[in-house]
Amino acid sequence: METGSTVEKVRDEACGILEEMSQNLQLGFIRLMGCTLNKVFKRLFRSIFVNTEGLNRLQQAVQENPVILMPNHRSYIDFLVISYALFIYDIPIPVIAAGIPLAGMKIVGEILRRSGAFFIRRAIGSDKLYWAVLSEYVHTIVRTGYAPVEFYVEGLRSRTLKSLPPKLGMMHMVLEPFFKGEVFDITLVPISISYDRVLEESLLVHELLGVPKPKESTSGLLKASRVLQEDYGTMHVNFGSPLSVRELCEGKINLRQYNLIPRDLPQKPSAEAQACVSWLAHLMVRTQEEGSLISPWSLMACLLLQAPAPVLTEEGLPWHHLTEKTLWLRKLALDFGAHLNWPGQMSDSDVMSSAVALHRSSVHLKGGRVCLIREGEPDKKRPLTPEEGVIRTAAAVLMLASYRNQSIHTFVRPAVLAMALHVTKSTQEEELFSFFCFLQEVFSYEFIFIPSRSSQDFEEACSRLKKCGAVHLSEQEVTASEQGQEVLSFLRELLKPFIDSYQLMFRCLCEERVDMFSEKQFQSALQSAAIKLILSGELHTYEVLSAAMQKNFLSMLRRLEAVTESRVSDHSEYKVNTAVVRKTKDILSGKIPPERRHATPDARL
């Protein structure tokens, strides 16, 4: 043994891991849960919509091949809803991969276990035994196919309500039985859950602003029971079309690579397998995005955020102006192929005012104007410092941004093109494409772009902008049209908070005098700089204060090798490669052109 311990010891350890991990699905228990959830859900939501044709397809699929359910993850209750729906429709209840902290909760851990959850440690890293036990556990469930496996390909609950770049470990694990020929095919079922209002909304914002997430505990959950008193509108669960892994992977991975090593030996996936898994995982997240329903509120949030924050918090936006623009945006979203949750039986103005009513904790409508609500009235005895005031506004803005994020995937590709048109001031397709790819790379952690699909994304952006009349396409040229200015400026403004925030972060890095810095140091330096600039009126976005954006930025730097990471005791330290940072910053601001790319679709991926 590598560790020098005896076989018995390792076996005991493996048994321990298995005990900690394994689910204990009990049908009787599920029935009990079914009744309880019935009551809870009725209380929380006006209605829950499930697409029955999706469930019928799923019912068919579970009889043919092992099925993997892949929902997006926006709320703790996501998996409850899915299991509940399957239970009602008499489809085998899934076995669900959950994070280990949940297992630690009193009673709740056991409830989840009996409802089919199995628990995975975070950061498995180099623990080979744990990795081996987990993958064998997952493989066995997939191979025997007695229950669908459910996991969140995004890895965690999205704090920003935007899709997260997929995590590949679990994805690879569930696909391996197919790669190794242990099953003929695997069926992936993307599931898009769309909430009018997310239960955890205020919690999310506090986490984004650096208030740490409370540890999952049963008492915490009970305290949260006040959420039961609130109205969360409707919820849509959209079961996507089952996708055949065999079909998707055809030509993308040569399965013969698994022929020469015993299949039960854990192996590091080859570069080809990693690329294939990554592609598939991104594709699934994109499919989730495309299957989600966009609420009127999300469209309104897009528009509200384009007004300056002081206007929003002080005098507010004229209601008629907002409603007019929202209807305009509704048309654009439909042109871009989005699915809307716009009730047809109500008048448009009723739809919009009921959205505002549902979100009365964020905005209020008074005297024909919509104002952003900031939490907590300032204490008269101890007035807020200007810095605290910024944070208070930021909380309100970030909450609004989260709801904007619910629909941003619809607009992001055309928006990136609109930004490229603006920054490059060019009409040459090749030049635009190069900048388009550059932006995709810079924002690869903010938005989901399927790897090696830039050409298709670019074409999609062009054709969508053409469809709504914003651009003219001709041989190797893309020109903005006169009447397209409204669309193009909306799209640019949509991306602007991201561009401005990234520019500021680049600036901070360049001005940083120290050689090495930790994530914490970076964040606090950034925070004070940002607050100063906001107060002086030089910076117009609050989103740079979001921890999620700061993390994404650092991830991007790592990927571009603009920083090198090294572990120092319990945290990471970063060393800046100033040349790369400057170059990237200058490309982003249009000072120097990005490297040329040719719009040739990659044959393999």
Partner 1 sequence: MTAAHLRKPPGTDSTIPAPEEEGTVPRRRQEIMKWNGWGYSDSRFFLNEKDQVKFTGRRYSLSGAIIPGLKGWMESTFGADILHKISPAPALNSSAVQSPILYEAFLVELKSTGIPFSYDAEDRVFRAHGHCLHEIFALREGKIGRVPDIVVWPDCHNNVVKIVELACKHDVCLIPYGGGTNVSRALECPPEETRSIVSLDTSQMNRILWIDEKNLTARVEAGIIGQDLERLLDQRGFCVGHEPDSLEFSSLGGWVATRSSGMKKNIYGNIEDLVVHMKMVTPQGIIEKGFQGPRMSTGPDIHHFIMGSEGTLGVITEVTMKIRPKPEFKKYGSVVFPNFEMGVACLREIARQRCAPASIRLMDNEQFKLGYAMKPQASSVFTSFLNGLKQFYITKFKGFDPTRLCVATLLLEGNREKVLQHERQIYGIAAKFGGLAAGEENGQRGYMLTFFIAYLRDLAMDYYVIAESFETSVPWDRVLDICRNVKACIVQKCKEKGVKFPPFASCRVAQTYDTGACVYFYFGFNYRGLSSPVQVYEQVEHAAREEILANGGSLSHHHGVGKIRKEWMRETVSDVGMGMLKSVKDYVDPNNIFGSRNLL
Footprint of partner 1 (CB under 8 A): 181-182, 184-185, 255-256, 258-259, 262-263
CB nearer to partner 1: give 176 or 201.
176
Amino acid at 86: L
**Minimal CA–CA distance to 191: which of 64, 115, 82?**
82
| Dihedral sign computed on CA atoms, order 80, 86, 90, 95 | negative
Mark 174-199 as b/e (b = at least 16 C-beta within 10 Å): bbbbbbbebbeebbbbbbbbbbbbbb
Report residue 572 as tokens.
Answer: 């990471």
CB nearer to partner 1: give 250 or 570.
250
Amino acid at 298: S
| Dihedral sign computed on CA atoms, order 508, 512, 515, 516 | negative
* Least spacing, CB of residue 255 vs partner 1, in Å: 4
**Minimal CA–CA distance to 594: which of 565, 560, 550, 564?**
560
* Least spacing, CB of residue 246 vs partner 1, in Å: 8
**Minimal CA–CA distance to 417: which of 479, 478, 461?**
461
* Least spacing, CB of residue 280 vs partner 1, in Å: 17
* Least spacing, CB of residue 178 vs partner 1, in Å: 10
CB nearer to partner 1: give 24 or 254.
254
Helix axes 547-559, 201-208, angle to 10 degrees: 50
* Least spacing, CB of residue 184 vs partner 1, in Å: 4
Show contacts of 385-394: CB within 8 Å, 24+ apart. Answer: 386/535, 387/531, 387/535, 390/531, 390/534, 390/535, 390/542, 390/545, 391/209, 391/531, 391/545, 393/309, 393/313, 393/542, 394/209, 394/542, 394/545
CB nearer to partner 1: give 15 or 255.
255
CB nearer to partner 1: give 136 or 573.
136
Which ranges of 22-118 does DSSP label H, i.e. alpha helix? 27-44, 52-64, 78-88, 100-103, 108-114
Residue appearing with tokens 């007019």: 324
CB nearer to partner 1: give 136 or 493.
136
CB nearer to partner 1: give 261 or 384.
261
* Phi and psi at residue 528, to the nearest 5°: -65, -40
CB nearer to partner 1: give 251 or 383.
251
* Phi and psi at residue 555, to the nearest 5°: -60, -40
CB nearer to partner 1: give 125 or 262.
262
Which DSSP string do the residues of 195-228 spell out, in sequence order?
ESS-TTHHHHHHHHTTPPPPPP-HHHHHHGGGGG
Q: How many CB atoms lie within 10 A of CB 442?
A: 24
* Least spacing, CB of residue 266 vs partner 1, in Å: 16
Which DSSP string do the residues of 382-427 spell out, in sequence order?
SPPPHHHHHHHHHHHHHHHHHHHHHHHHHHHHHHHHHHHHHHH---
**Minimal CA–CA distance to 535: which of 394, 387, 392?**
387
* Phi and psi at residue 96, to the nearest 5°: -115, 130
Half-sphere exposure of residue 401: CA atoms within 13 angstroms, side-chain side: 28
* Least spacing, CB of residue 275 vs partner 1, in Å: 18
**Minimal CA–CA distance to 343: which of 293, 288, 401, 407?**
293
Report residue 119 as tokens.
Answer: 């628990």
CB nearer to partner 1: give 250 or 511.
250
Amino acid at 184: F
* Least spacing, CB of residue 182 vs partner 1, in Å: 6
CB nearer to partner 1: give 247 or 570.
247
* Least spacing, CB of residue 597 vs partner 1, in Å: 33
* Least spacing, CB of residue 139 vs partner 1, in Å: 13
Give yes or no for a contact between 173 and 138, defined as CB atoms under 8 angstroms apart. Answer: yes
Q: In this structure, what DSSP letter does residue 183 have?
A: S
CB nearer to partner 1: give 259 or 483.
259
* Least spacing, CB of residue 256 vs partner 1, in Å: 6
CB nearer to partner 1: give 251 or 368.
251
CB nearer to partner 1: give 257 or 354.
257
CA 367 – CA 362 distance, rounded (Å)? 17
* Least spacing, CB of residue 143 vs partner 1, in Å: 10
CB nearer to partner 1: give 280 or 526.
280
CA 105 – CA 503 distance, rounded (Å)? 42
CA 103 – CA 120 distance, rounded (Å)? 9
* Least spacing, CB of residue 70 vs partner 1, in Å: 23
Grouping H, G, I as helix, E, B as strand and the rest as coil, residue 359 is: coil
* Least spacing, CB of residue 183 vs partner 1, in Å: 8
* Least spacing, CB of residue 18 vs partner 1, in Å: 23
